[in-house]
Amino acid sequence: MFKNLTLLISFVSSFYCFSQVPAYVPTDSLVGWWPFNGNSNDESGNGNDGIVSSASLTNDRFGNSNRAYYLDGIDDYIYIGDLDAIKGVSEMTWSVWLSTDSISSVENAVISKRIANNQSDYMALYVTNYTCNYNSLRMSIASGNGNHNGASVDSVLHLDSLVHLVAVFNGNASNNVDKLKIYLNGVLQNSIYRNNNSCANIAIPNLTPVSSDELYFGAQAPNPPYFNDVASFFKGEIDDIGIWNRALDSNEVQQLYNSSSCTYYDTVTIYDTVSISVMDTLLIDVTITSMQTPNNTNTIKVYPNPTNDVIYIDNGNYSMMSGYSINILNSGAQSVYSSPINTQTLSLNVSQLGAIGTYFLQILDTSMNVVEIRHIVLQ
């Protein structure tokens, strides 16, 4: 059965979406926002546009073409320059979506404000197996010759797995745990605070370095011959890089992680109406990648859609989907409901979700990757 539903639409929505900082990105103290929407421009308005060297555009995590960059680990990088706004500050945050194809025995630079082989006063975010690191995420805020201050989270990286990484520095805190935090997919990690060369315990400094080393994505700044060493380069995909000169809180980190595709949350001037058809029951076929065909598909039913009181989610053969979950976003890309898929039927009162309008139901796999997105309508 089909119903007619009147929706408001705009002819300019796509343009607006890809030319603005999304609503889920905190703009207070934002130094740069690089969404890689067909280019390496800084959309924060601060003019920190990147210069691409060999890196190629690729699909983002939502499947949108030319909305992320792939770096080959050989000579690809994006040059940003010397960011004064993060030099000698007591607070800073770096955020990035990444997927790595390779983790070497040295430091593969995702974001780096460090001349290659520099031993002091640098900032850098690595994926690495260097010295005491193993499949590690490493954030270094190095102060003083040979100190290599920083935090590592070990044994968390898997090749070709998309993750969201946030490093939050607050030099005003009194201890290492509060001074430098690393979040992986919105979850605060247990970091190890150590010298990246000697592996000895070390204190996190109170301020970021004031060096003039230039900022790169995917590599360290050139210092021949080290810049020709393939191990300095990151191999994989990067997207939605953000830098702030303040410490984001845990709610803001969650907001960044729970972000939806840009096409779903833009806000535009609405000036026309059309009629479309919406099915009473929404069918979502989910392919379980860990299972073999032909018995690796489960159908989730969502009904009625649209609804004005209660919406039901029938998870089908939910035993197939251990570790999968459901997340519902409002039009502002804020998560208003989430639940593991571990029961036959879920029932949600409309009042639990919020105001009438269009919402977006995500199916997330065991790695918290979005595998399906569907519209639901509250009347």
pLDDT, one tens digit per residue, over 221-244 is 876 544 444 347 999 999 999 999
Which of 18-22, 185-189, 309-313: highest mean pLDDT?
A: 185-189
Cβ atoms within 10 Å, residue 274: 9
Phi, psi of 313 (to 5 degrees): -120, 110
CA 33 to chain centre: 12
Percent of the chain with pLDDT over 90: 40
Cβ atoms within 10 Å, residue 282: 20
Radius of gyration for the chain, computed over Cα atoms and rounded to the nearest angstrom? 22
In this predicted model, which residue has the larger pLDDT, 180 or 364?
A: 180
With 90 as the cut, is the pLDDT of residue 320 above it?
no
> What's the pLDDT at 189?
93
In this predicted model, which residue has the larger pLDDT, 331 or 176?
A: 176
338 bridge partner residues: 327
Instruction: Categorize the per-residue pLDDT at 260 as very low, low, confident or very high, splitting at 50, 70 and 90.
Output: low
Of the candidates 312, 322, 316, the one whose C-alpha atom is nearest the C-alpha of residue 300 is 316
- DSSP annotation string for 138-179: EEEEE-STTT--EEEE-S---TT--EEEEEEEETTSSSHHHH
Cβ atoms within 10 Å, residue 170: 18
User: 57: buried, middle or exposed (CB in 10 Å: 19+, 13-18, 0-12)?
Assistant: middle
Residue type, 125: L
Of the candidate ranges 15-24, 80-89, 119-128, the one whose mean pLDDT is the lowest: 15-24
> What's the pLDDT at 223?
63
Do residues 125 and 110 touch, judged by C-beta distance below 8 A? yes
> What's the pLDDT at 127?
86
Query: How many Å apart are CA 316 and CA 314, to the nearest integer?
Result: 6
Angstrom distances, CA of residue 274 to CA of 8, 15, 205, 327: 7, 20, 58, 28
In this predicted model, which residue has the larger pLDDT, 324 or 377?
A: 324
> What's the pLDDT at 259?
79
Averaged over 83-90, what is the pLDDT?
Answer: 96
Assign 307 to helix, strand or coil: strand
> What's the pLDDT at 16?
38
With 90 as the cut, is the pLDDT of residue 112 above it?
yes
With 50 as the cut, is the pLDDT of residue 11 above it?
no
Domain range list for the chain: 25-257, 272-378
With 80 as the cut, is the pLDDT of residue 2 above it?
no
Query: How many Å apart are CA 355 and CA 203, to the nearest integer?
Result: 48
221 bridge partner residues: 115
Query: Tokens 């010298």, residue?
Result: 195
The topology (CATH level 3) of 25-257 is Jelly Rolls (2.60.120)
Query: Tokens 């975010």, residue?
Result: 125
Angstrom distances, CA of residue 298 to CA of 253, 295, 312, 316, 321: 32, 8, 17, 6, 8
- DSSP annotation string for 70-91: EEESSS-EEEEE--GGGSS-SE
Q: What is the pLDDT of residues 168-188, one digit of tens each?
A: 999 999 999 999 999 999 999
> What's the pLDDT at 329?
81
In this predicted model, which residue has the larger pLDDT, 47 or 120?
A: 47
Structural domain 272-378, CATH architecture: Sandwich (2.60)
